[in-house]
């Protein structure tokens, strides 16, 4: 009798072993042009797991990282297929770039795997798989809100838009302009810069010639915001006469450091900044600094909240990882994040969050984004419009 019990006791852990790990396939652009964004996302994931442990609902979380290398949907799709078929992951997460997210959505839909978009910000991504949620931001969410705010609360009547000539740039331009015009403003002109453009002097000069009341800028992070800031200072754009409005990437930490005093008084709308003043954020930043030696940014918070969503969903499903159970549990999920209150919209599965309006000011020795206005619980307007079209 004892022998049977002993044998059973030995066999049991082995049998259960197979189900004790939850595998998450994380696809990021760890090499190439977007490596820094991906590194920050990965740092966010690591920080969350350090703070909250690597066990949820009695199971261990294992992260399998894959590098997509850049905007390469064929590679992203293949890697996702391999993760599902070979590594047998339970869910897919990450996605620095839109084309990669779109390609992997097909795999998520076909294989019925839960998918968490932690960065890619194009609105339509969310519609490509019924098992997907997003924890980052969408461009219309921030930019349309900004456009409305600019024309109403800030009382601006004119605007000249300057965006980078690629998908997100076009989206941001469209979102801002449509909302600005709808609220009574007028777009006096627009220009688009080529993607890897190193020198903005010519474009800034064009803007200056028109002397608009305000300028709206959308450029990706990296070297460009600093170059643009310098160009504006060189050309002598007076920020008192011409208000500069931008996206959060324009005044990211590295950009502010490089722009120095050229950044003063730039007004931006965004969903996160490492200087946010709440207890959760202070703890997050402290742990992040200790682990990675730098400050988090919106890439990090998207990944951080993504992990949180995964953990909370798993707690609700008690460890069940099939797509149907996960998405049912994830819809309507609400929590308090370092960026403020967050919710996963129960109908669109997209992120609902507060949008902050900030101004660059000198605090101590640094230039930081200081929030002075907030629009709470913003849903993705493009998603709302899609809902209405269906009705």
Partner 1 sequence: MEIAFWLATLAPFVVTPSYLSLASQIAITALFALSLDLILGYAGIVSLGHAAYFGFGAYTAGLLSKHYFGEPLTGLVLGAAAAGLLGYLTSHVIVRFRHLALIMLTLGLGLLLAEAANSASWLTGGADGLQGVKMAPLLGFKFDLYGRTAYAYSLAVLFLLFLVARRIIHSPFGLALRGIRENATRMPAIGAPSLAHLRKVYTIAAVIAGAAGALLTQTTSTVSLEVLSFGRSADALVILILGGAGRLYGGIIGAVVYMVARDQFSGLNPQYWYFWIGVLLVAVVMFLPNGILGGLSALRKKPQ
Partner 2 sequence: MLFDGFAYGMLLFLLSVGLSVTLGMMNFVNLAHCSFAMIGGYVTVSLANRYGWPFLATLPVAFLGAAAAAVILERTLYRRLYRASDLDQCLLTIGIVFISVAAYAWFYGTVVQSTPMPSYLRGSVPFLGMSFAAYRLFLIAMGLAVATLLILMLETTRFGARVRAAVDNQKMARGLGIDVDRAFMITFALGGGLAGLGGALAIEMVGLDHAFALNYLVYVLIVVAVGGLGSIGGSFAAAVVLGVSDMAGKYYFPWLGAFLIYLVMVALLMWRPVGLFGKR
Contact residues for partner 2 (CB under 8 A)?
Answer: 31-33, 35-36, 39, 165, 191-199, 201-203, 205-206, 222-224, 226-227, 230, 233-236, 254, 257-258, 294
- Cβ atoms of 247 and 228 closer than 8 Å: no
Give the Cα separation of 115 and 133 in Å (integer).
Answer: 6
Question: Of the two residues 375 and 382, which places its CB atom closer to partner 1 in the complex?
Answer: 382
- Which residues lie across from 363 on neighbouring strands? 366
Task: Choose from partner 2, partner 1, none: what does 183 bind? Cβ within 5-8 Å by kind.
Answer: none
Grouping H, G, I as helix, E, B as strand and the rest as coil, residue 266 is coil
In the complex, what is the shortest distance from the CB of residue 43 to partner 2, in angstroms, rounded to a whole number?
Answer: 11
For residue 369, what are its two tokens?
């984004």
**Contacting partner 1 within 235-264 (CB under 8 A):** none
Strand 243-247 and strand 334-337: the pairing is unpaired
What is the maximum span of the chain, computed from C-alpha positions, in angstroms?
93
Q: Which entry of partner 1, partner 2, none binds 196, CB below 5 to 8 A by partner kind?
A: partner 2
Q: What values do phi and psi take at 315, rounded to 5?
A: -65, -40
Length of the chain counted residue by residue = 391
Phi, psi of 308 (to 5 degrees): -60, -45
Question: Which residue stretch of 29-37, 294-302, 326-334, 353-361 sits at the interface with partner 1 (rule: CB under 8 A)?
Answer: 29-37
Q: Are 17 and 84 in contact (CB under 8 A)?
A: no
**Stretch near partner 1 under the rule CB under 8 A, chosen from 4-12, 101-109, 332-340, 366-374:** 101-109
Q: Which of 19, 20, 21, 31 binds partner 1 (CB under 8 A)?
A: 31
d(CA 79, CA 70): 13
Instruction: Give the C-alpha distances (Å, rounded to integers) separating 292 from 46, 66, 161, 284, 285.
Output: 9, 20, 36, 12, 10
The nearer residue to partner 2, 73 or 189, going by C-beta atoms, is 189
**String of contacts with partner 1 for each residue 161-180, x by CB under 8 A:** ----xxxx-x----------
Nearer to partner 2, 90 or 273 (CB): 273
- Other CB atoms within a 10 A radius of the CB of residue 239 amount to 17
Q: How far is the CB of 256 from partner 2 (least distance, A)?
A: 10
Residue from 46, 66, 339, 349 touching partner 1 (CB under 8 A): that is 66
Residue 227 contact, options partner 1, partner 2, none, Cβ 5-8 Å cut-off depending on partner type: partner 2
Q: Which is nearer to partner 2, 236 or 364 (CB)?
A: 236
Binding pattern to partner 1, positions 71-100, x when CB under 8 A?
xxxxx-xx--xx-xxx-----------xx-
Rounded Cα–Cα distance for residues 136 and 299 (Å)? 8
């Amino acid at each position: 009798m004892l022998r049977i019990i002993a044998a059973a006791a030995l066999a049991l852990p082995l049998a259960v072993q197979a189900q004790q790990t939850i595998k998450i396939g994380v696809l990021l652009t760890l090499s190439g042009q977007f490596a820094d964004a991906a590194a920050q996302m990965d740092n966010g994931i690591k920080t969350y797991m350090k703070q909250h442990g690597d066990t949820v609902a009695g199971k261990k979380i294992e992260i399998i990282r894959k590098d997509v290398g850049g905007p390469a949907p064929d590679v992203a799709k293949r890697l996702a297929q391999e993760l599902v078929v070979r590594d047998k992951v339970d869910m897919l997460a990450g996605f620095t770039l839109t084309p990669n997210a779109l390609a992997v959505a097909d795999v998520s839909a076909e294989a019925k795997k839960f998918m968490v978009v932690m960065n890619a910000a194009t609105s339509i991504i969310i519609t490509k798989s019924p098992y997907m949620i997003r924890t980052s931001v969408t461009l219309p969410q921030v930019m349309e809100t900004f456009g409305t705010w600019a024309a109403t609360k800030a009382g601006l009547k004119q605007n000249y838009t300057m965006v980078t000539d690629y998908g997100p740039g076009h989206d941001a331009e469209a979102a801002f302009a449509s909302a600005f015009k709808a609220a009574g403003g007028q777009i006096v002109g627009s220009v688009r810069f080529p993607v890897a453009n190193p020198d903005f002097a010519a474009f800034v000069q064009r803007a200056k010639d028109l002397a608009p009341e305000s300028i709206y800028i959308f450029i990706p992070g990296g070297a460009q915001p600093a170059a643009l800031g310098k160009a504006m200072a060189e050309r002598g754009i007076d920020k008192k006469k011409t208000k500069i409005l931008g996206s959060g990437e324009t005044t990211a930490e590295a950009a502010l450091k490089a722009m120095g005093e050229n950044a003063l008084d730039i007004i931006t709308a965004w969903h996160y900044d490492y200087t946010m003043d709440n207890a959760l954020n202070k703890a997050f930043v402290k742990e992040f600094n200790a682990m990675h030696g730098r400050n988090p940014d919106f890439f990090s918070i998207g990944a951080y909240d993504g992990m949180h969503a995964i953990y909370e969903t798993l707690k609700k499903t008690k460890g069940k990882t099939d797509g149907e159970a996960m998405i049912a549990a994830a819809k309507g999920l609400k929590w308090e994040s370092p960026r403020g209150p967050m919710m996963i919209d129960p109908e669109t599965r997209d992120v609902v969050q507060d949008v902050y309006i900030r101004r660059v000011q000198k605090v101590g020795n640094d230039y930081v984004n200081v929030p002075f206005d907030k629009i709470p619980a913003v849903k993705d307007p493009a998603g709302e419009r899609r809902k209405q079209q269906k009705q």
